[in-house]
Structure 1
């Protein structure tokens, strides 16, 4: 193969890999943020009596929390399944197709109220919902684990991994924040087409939104499956297959993986919870629901600018400084939200400060987790790619479960459900909202900062040294065996 052919295939692989996270991140935001909005405050139980609707919201919120927490312990097993996969298409691609297509179809189903079952039989709806949500979550995890777990397989170079991560994060930012920007007009459009009236938040509107996200999810997972290319490396000699117990041991013995994971999950809890509360801020505090789309636009534009620059910025500033500096900016944003929550201009400034560091924090965490593959390999003598990278979606699940529950229960506690009139909310209701949306997440961000600052030591330089030691050890082993 010529150099030009190799470079062409490399760029095709990069582009197709990047396309994958466009749909994957859109899926995650739709599920973690707007599914809660759909059932907790807007549409799913609109035909129910007020008390009955509140009870159903509480039941679904509790079920989602329990399901996602239980499935957290399944993710390492799914990573072990991926690591032990051997097919003519590679280790990761089959799970992109199975996980991506299956989860996208089921996401559409839950945005239809399970095709109207919610209004037919409440008991049957709850049972079917549990089954569908569990299967959906497992399939999404398989897609997510195989997606990020693919990075060590695409390259052993920390710099090349940074390129793949930057591209994936770039399109992920477009997908995640793009959903925030389009959700209101998309729901209104499909509702209007169905005859619900312009601007109405109807069941038909949310079903149309679910269909859009589902189709995007299918198209983008197929791009990864058919367009990426794994590279063979001496470091990727898989050896014997690992057992499920070894999967948990691999995670438990990798201290750097555990510390960066703890810091990142704390960040994610704060980030997802606050993002989920933003629609309530604009609707019930600022009383400007039509301006909510600006949240997605701000995050989208910032991600569009910052993400491609990350590799260049990282060449000048170590990841450590980018991560910790980002935490400081988020803390300032929370202070502005707390003090000026009714001032639209200051809220916009706070939104910029809140979303500006997101790319640097997320990419630093992903790259550190990715580099911990070699760290764990040196420490234990066993390479676990998908198992190690399964931690990242596991962290998102923890954050999503806690955040969804917080948003759902606080919406009830603050009386911000079923399209309540903002004029009926009391000062206590608003303070309850602000405590959950801003005060508590600020404390969590401070804790995340402290964990990373004092416990995470796996830098770019240290990873390079580890890779060289591994290569030397394997060369010696080959000579000995020879």
Structure 2
């Protein structure tokens, strides 16, 4: 039997192993999505006739955009393959390793310029490049899907999943921003070793790719060897595959999800594209390529502080305001880049402002809140669709930003062996127009869309949840189903330890008795248990309410506290996944009673039946003080 000390030690090993996985994974993505285009425009076609080189640069830039956009359509298929994989090592870890090894080998191959093939047969080079890059991208996607898919397989605890995700995001930030710190020193050093020249040549870029490939493989092996997949808690909902059609329909039918997605897409294209052109700014405009590491240091340090700062600020400042602050900082950074482009001090200040953004965190939370909005408006709860939206938007923005970076390099003459001395005023003007004015316009659009079109604030979401709960309790939010004639009886066990109460004895925040069909329990402790054998259908994003259906079709919602929606999940820990089968008496939720009471809310646990018209009769209560293993009701229902 595992001791508490051993369990704690294992948990930390898994956290570290999982976090190490995204260190190499994000570094790989950064090398592929940002610095590969830089290599293509500067070193890949060294020795190739300039006219042919420019044609190949344009061809590769266009192909990368098309392939990355097509990847959005392929991802659901990849997810389906991963989900149906059955091995003794699990379903995720094999694809972590296979995807990483194959994509890393192919990364090195394309950073060799496919072994210099463009110098001898550029047509064959173009054909092979398409095949290799598509294969690389597919296997990278296998690794990506498998990595983040492991989170629910590693832990059943919602809080622990949050810790794993935070650790992974933190190391991912280091992996992504760390490239900015090392790319120039690494490419320059290895080019010098090979040629004796202090420049970023093809030899240096190849060494850079090899280092990233090794890091990616080692990171994948760390995840595979240091984590354990727990297949017993995987939700049945995972069997319902989300297609790209589902994603787009989910967005179209939910106007708030649409506006949130559009605002984030505008931001993301600007952010990723600017990261891609910063190297050109330092090399061709400032004439200081060896100072490019500064951009990486700033991004890493600012990112280190903004992530933990967000929840602190959000206690006092609404997230819509935080989003606006971040976008205004981004807009200010572009103005500094434009008007202070030759001043390193102003550029540094601009980089600090550029990276001071809460857009990703706000977007994730807003998209999550849009689930309840869509459920209230359309009667559909598109959880899987919502989870698929942001990764899809990231891929789209990555594709467009790659196109922007490649286009800038071609139109501004920043290709091949060009230096800052070769730049004309027209070159600089072209660079500014696409590198700063275009992203500036996107940043402004993102701000305007979010401020004027996104209506789901914390307060508005709380109202939506309360209204949805009222509809669910009355049965008004239930989907239409065929009429049933067979009557069955479901035994209900108390979902909490405490004192049994009628709904009419429970007063809401306006001192009105609760309506609906069900019962309540004044809890003795902060535990909520499954009232019967069944399946968890959904959880509100605020974690205080869940929907559950018994094996014989009785639908109910369990609601912890009155007004607790305003806590926005603080003090609540879930011990299940949506779609998971549970047994009567199984622990579902832990909640902090002291926190709820200090906030001025009631901690009463309320159970509503969501299809009251189907209920024929409710049996008698068995006792006034109940424990979670006590049978409290017999419900006859169709």
TM over 0.5: yes
Partners of 1:145 and 1:390 within 8 A in 2: no
Cross-structure match for 1:339 = 339
Cross-structure match for 1:196 = 195
Closer/same/farther in 2, CA of residues 414 and 298 from structure 1, 3 Å limit: same
Cross-structure match for 1:36 = 37
Residue of 408, 411, 418 corresponding to 1:410 = 408
Shift of 1:28: 1.3
Instruction: Point out the structure with max Rg over C-alpha.
Output: 2
Alpha-carbon distance between aligned partners in 2 of 1:464 and 1:67, rounded to the nearest angstrom: 36
Alpha-carbon distance between aligned partners in 1 of 2:242 and 2:305, rounded to the nearest angstrom: 41
Partners of 1:102 and 1:139 within 8 A in 2: yes
Partners of 1:148 and 1:389 within 8 A in 2: no
Shift of 1:92: 2.8
* Cα deviations by residue, 1:364-390 (Å, 9 ceiling, x for unpaired): 445656787899899657864xx7545
Shift of 1:137: 1.0
* Cα deviations by residue, 1:146-202 (Å, 9 ceiling, x for unpaired): 323444555676654443332222111111111111011111222223x21142322
Query: Is 2:442 the counterpart of 1:444?
Result: yes
Alpha-carbon distance between aligned partners in 1 of 2:435 and 2:5, rounded to the nearest angstrom: 52
Cross-structure match for 1:27 = 28
* More displaced 10-residue stretch of structure 1: 440-449 or 205-214: 440-449
Shift of 1:75: 1.7
Matches within 5 A, 1:24-423: 24-40=25-41, 42-154=42-154, 159-193=159-193, 195-230=194-229, 236-238=234-236, 241-242=239-240, 245=243, 248-249=245-246, 252-253=249-250, 255=254, 258-310=258-310, 312-313=312-313, 319-357=319-357, 360-366=358-364, 380=380, 384=384, 389-423=387-421
**Cα RMSD (Å):** 3.3
Q: Structure 1: which 5+ residue stretches go unaligned?
A: none
Shift of 1:337: 1.2
Partners of 2:93 and 2:223 within 8 A in 1: yes
Matched residue count: 474
* Cα deviations by residue, 1:22-81 (Å, 9 ceiling, x for unpaired): 1111111111111111111x2111201222221111111111112222222112332333
* More displaced 10-residue stretch of structure 1: 388-397 or 123-132: 388-397
Alpha-carbon distance between aligned partners in 1 of 2:144 and 2:90, rounded to the nearest angstrom: 16
Alpha-carbon distance between aligned partners in 1 of 2:85 and 2:448, rounded to the nearest angstrom: 38
Alpha-carbon distance between aligned partners in 2 of 1:450 and 1:400, rounded to the nearest angstrom: 22
Alpha-carbon distance between aligned partners in 2 of 1:351 and 1:211, rounded to the nearest angstrom: 29
Q: TM-score, structure 2 length as denominator?
A: 0.67
* More displaced 10-residue stretch of structure 1: 72-81 or 152-161: 152-161
Partners of 2:22 and 2:172 within 8 A in 1: yes
Shift of 1:113: 0.8
Shift of 1:311: 5.1
* More displaced 10-residue stretch of structure 1: 147-156 or 52-61: 147-156
Shift of 1:281: 1.3
Alpha-carbon distance between aligned partners in 1 of 2:77 and 2:245, rounded to the nearest angstrom: 8
Closer/same/farther in 2, CA of residues 467 and 126 from structure 1, 3 Å limit: same
Please identify which structure carries the higher helix content.
1
* More displaced 10-residue stretch of structure 1: 77-86 or 396-405: 77-86
Closer/same/farther in 2, CA of residues 251 and 85 from structure 1, 3 Å limit: farther
Shift of 1:262: 3.0
Shift of 1:348: 0.7
Shift of 1:91: 4.0
Alpha-carbon distance between aligned partners in 2 of 1:37 and 1:198, rounded to the nearest angstrom: 19
Partners of 2:54 and 2:410 within 8 A in 1: yes
Cross-structure match for 2:427 = 429
Alpha-carbon distance between aligned partners in 2 of 1:308 and 1:319, rounded to the nearest angstrom: 14
Partners of 1:299 and 1:355 within 8 A in 2: yes
Alpha-carbon distance between aligned partners in 2 of 1:187 and 1:282, rounded to the nearest angstrom: 15
Q: Structure 2: which 5+ residue stretches go unaligned?
A: 466-538, 556-581, 585-634
Closer/same/farther in 2, CA of residues 432 and 381 from structure 1, 3 Å limit: closer
Partners of 2:369 and 2:456 within 8 A in 1: no
Closer/same/farther in 2, CA of residues 444 and 473 from structure 1, 3 Å limit: farther
Partners of 2:250 and 2:382 within 8 A in 1: no
Greater relative contact order structure (CA < 8 Å, 6+ sep) = 1
Alpha-carbon distance between aligned partners in 1 of 2:444 and 2:225, rounded to the nearest angstrom: 42
Q: TM-score, structure 1 length as denominator?
A: 0.87
* Cα deviations by residue, 1:400-436 (Å, 9 ceiling, x for unpaired): 2211111111221112222224334332221111111
* More displaced 10-residue stretch of structure 1: 9-18 or 454-463: 454-463
* More displaced 10-residue stretch of structure 1: 66-75 or 362-371: 362-371
Partners of 1:170 and 1:308 within 8 A in 2: no
Partners of 1:191 and 1:204 within 8 A in 2: yes
